[in-house]
Amino acid sequence: MRNRRNHNSAAVMAKAAELALATPQVIAHRMLRMATAGSSPSARDKREFHRMSAEKTAAFIESWNAMALETLRVNQALSASFLQAFWSAWLPSKPAAGTMMQWHNASLRILGKGMGPVHRRAVANARRLGRVKAW
């Protein structure tokens, strides 16, 4: 159980670190591109600017949906756990332990699911824009 928790924490921290490195790179590239485009951006610049807003919208919608679905799964699992703990008082088995650990792991899973789409796009954009010259 402990190793799994460390894995969940490490995965979320790794995604957060990659996102923290990729985001400023993408922002800097796009801000430079906007500054150099001026008042008359090229067709390539217009495509990039449109892509920028469309990707953000899609990533955040996917993120919210993934978090909502994972929250639903977590609520079902925690409800089942609470019911099991309630009935275990009258049954000859051990009561369910580690509810706080379940909540911790559940919050990490929800956070990881929500960060996934944003992370994927930001890291992909950092790679793609790192290969392209700004001007």
Q: What is the pLDDT along the chain (135 residues), one digit of tens a residue?
A: 455 556 778 889 999 999 999 999 999 998 998 899 888 899 988 998 899 999 999 999 999 999 999 999 999 988 887 787 777 766 665 545 566 777 888 899 999 999 999 999 999 999 998 886 645
- pLDDT number for residue 105: 86
- pLDDT number for residue 114: 93
Q: Using CA of residue 22, residue 23, residue 29, residue 33, what is the dihedral sign?
A: positive
Determine which helix (DSSP H) or strand (DSSP E) holds 118, and give its type and residue range: helix 99-131
> At 128, is the secondary structure helix, strand, or coil?
helix
- pLDDT number for residue 3: 58
CA dist 34 and 1 (Å) reads: 49
CA dist 73 and 68 (Å) reads: 9
- pLDDT number for residue 130: 85
Contact call for residues 15 and 119 (beta carbons, < 8 A): yes
- pLDDT number for residue 1: 47
End-to-end CA distance of the chain: 52
CA dist 99 and 92 (Å) reads: 20
